[in-house]
Amino acid sequence: MIHANTPAWRRATLALCLGSMLVFINLYAPQPLLPLLRDTHDASTLKTGLVMSLATLTLALSLLVYGPLSDAIGRGGIMRVSLSVAALATLLAAFAPGLDWLLAARVLQGVALGGLPAVAIAWMGDEFSPEAMSRAVGLYIAANTLGGIGGRVLGGVVGEWYGVQASFVAVGGLTLVGVAVFWWLLPAASAFSSQPFRLGRACRQMRGHLANPWLLPAYLIGGLNFLVFINQYSYMTFRLAEAPFALGPRWLGLLFLTYLGGTLGSMLSARVVARAGAPATMGLGVVIMVLALGLSLMPVLAVIIAALTLSAFGFFLCHATASGWVGRQAREGRGGASALYLVFYYLGASLGPLWLEPFWLWRGWPGVVAASWLVLATTGWLSWRLGKRLQRAQHQCVVERRLEHV
């Protein structure tokens, strides 16, 4: 068992954070290029958005395989191999001759990128003490945000100066170097207990996770919040590429520095949970997102940047809490439980345009905000219900302990 603040904990946490950054660099590097891709290929907003949503969709579906598979064969090998394949898929995307071929490369990329996020938190659950895991999860989620920032900034800057192809080449080359470091840093697992893979048992475990009243609300909160959060950036790039802002890919990439608000939110999540509890922390994150969306309606670039920063803080405060909650509440098949959270998470991202696009075509950005508020009303209610359930369970435990001493 690895304990917090030991050399082994630092090395393992650094490896997983690096891997997380590589995943999200590759996943989100094309996002600031969406207006450029739309104009280059004369495509609709919805089809151009498939560059993001197809990768997140295939990533989500791959998690259904990686999670149970990792319970059988181990988690370290899956993370190492999948990151290597993802780097090669990114280089293939660089030489796609058209938008359809680029979409096909993104499908392959999404499948490969699913390996690490499917099992990283389960790896922590196997190897780390509860305190060590709580601290590591916050840092790991913070690394997600740094990867998202880095990928978008790198993609936008290189894409504006040297073109889309050079952007993918730069990301792929950087990933190959990072993968080599990841292989070296990640320690061998010592506490993993293999469970032979059986499809029937895996399906039963998945059904059990979905029927678990402690897990399902967290799955829905993560997926629906991400539906709003990630797609607000996609539609914001289209908004800011038009007059009166007229920002190019380089500046749209720098817009994602607002993710630093999410880095802070992730790092503070463990402290907030210790004071207020996990359900209340999730609800707080939702409320902050609601307020930030309202602020984003103002047609002032500085205010929009502040709103996106605040939204990132609220989202990642909630996301870090929800993902850690799943890792703690799962009693068996932890890899499958964590993977199922991410299935909901990325399905939300990939299906978001289907929900938001009609509102965008109807009223532009105010329509996107209205559609987002409807979704966040649902996740706020789910957080409140989960908090009520936790209060009842804690009260029942107190009553039972008193009866034991009577």
pLDDT at position 18: 96
| pLDDT tens digits, one per residue of 66-75 | 877 887 888 8
DSSP string computed for 68-98: HHHHHH-SHHHHHHHHHHHHHHHHHHHT-SS
* CB atoms near residue 280 (< 10 Å): 18
- pLDDT band with cut points at 50, 70 and 90 for residue 404: low
Percent of the chain with pLDDT over 90: 57
pLDDT in the model for residue 403: 65
State the pLDDT at residue 135: 84
Helix or strand or coil: residue 48?
A: helix
Judge whether residue 400 has pLDDT over 70: no
- Per-residue pLDDT for 333 more than 80? no
The whole-number average pLDDT for the span 200-217 is: 86
Task: Fold for 7-186+199-404, please state it.
Answer: Growth Hormone; Chain: A; (1.20.1250)
Q: Contact, 252 vs 234, CB < 8 A?
A: no
Q: From CA 179, how far away is CA 160, in angstroms rounded?
A: 26
For residue 200, with 0-12 CB atoms within 10 Å meaning exposed, 13-18 middle and 19 or more buried, which class applies?
exposed
The number of residues making up the chain comes to: 406
* Average pLDDT score over residue span 91-116: 94
Which residue did the predictor score with more confidence, 216 or 122? 216
Is a pLDDT exceeding 70 seen at residue 328? yes
Q: How many C-beta atoms surround the C-beta of residue 144 within 10 A?
A: 25
